[in-house]
Amino acid sequence: MIIDTHTHYEDERYDADRDELLQKMKESGILAVNAATDRKSMEAIMRMIDRYENLYGMLGIYPEYVGENTEADLNLIRELAKHPKIVAIGEIGLDCHWEENLPKEVQIEWFRKQIALAKETGLPINVHSRDAAEDTLRVIREENAAACGGIIHCFSYSSEIAGEYVKLGFHIGVGGVVTFSNAKKLKEVVAKIPIENIVLETDCPYLAPTPHRGERNSSLYLKEVIAQIALIKDMSIEEVERITEENARKVYGI
């Protein structure tokens, strides 16, 4: 089985064919975990995980939106996380690309709060980090997020930073970017870290792999990602699929 550890199937770009796509994924042996970004997406995810057998969910407030939220949103996550198909707190983290819209200090405050909530609920975290390598790693260390573990989603930093996360027991999310011809840094990360710390993801509808770049992404395209990882690691496609499935099941408790 293939496990896509980070998707956004609540996105309106799937409104026309969501049922057909999730069914095709099921028939293809693909299970997906849908990430939340705000209250609206959390509500959609709760409906979807009951509707689709092969879809699980995570709940959290995306860094760009934390300034709009209150403690009531944390309480909502705390309550909804009791659902057996909610497997993580995410996507949470830091995005300094948007710091002009939301100060880093506010993002860090909410990142800390949501890590604490993950430890309280016994769930792992799924971390978004953009232009915030040092701050993200620092907060994770200071908050002892290794106690809950999780995935660094859409990893975009150096192999040295990836190695630090591996030491903490985290998994590195690898998606379509690894198939891009200019993705030298991510390919180096994949080459250097153990396969036991790699999980598959799409971040769909974004970041479709080559040769689908520019299209709406879906979990069906993960075969391209698996093939690229297999090439980099000098492994068989079957080995990559099996080990990354085991990794995803381990981190999410599926």
The CATH code of the domain that includes 228 is 3.20.20.140
Q: What pLDDT shows up at residue 66?
A: 87
Domain interval for residue 158: 2-252
pLDDT above 70 for 100? no
Q: What pLDDT shows up at residue 70?
A: 87
Q: What pTM, to 2 d.p., does this model score?
A: 0.97
Number of domain units in the chain? 1
Average pLDDT, integer, range 102-131:
96
pLDDT above 80 for 196? yes
69 falls in which pLDDT band (50, 70, 90)?
A: confident
103 falls in which pLDDT band (50, 70, 90)?
A: confident
- List, edge to edge, every strand of the sheet that includes 55-59: 2-7, 30-34, 55-59, 86-95, 125-130, 150-152, 171-174, 198-200
Average pLDDT, integer, range 173-177:
98
Q: What percentage of the chain reaches a pLDDT higher than 90?
A: 94
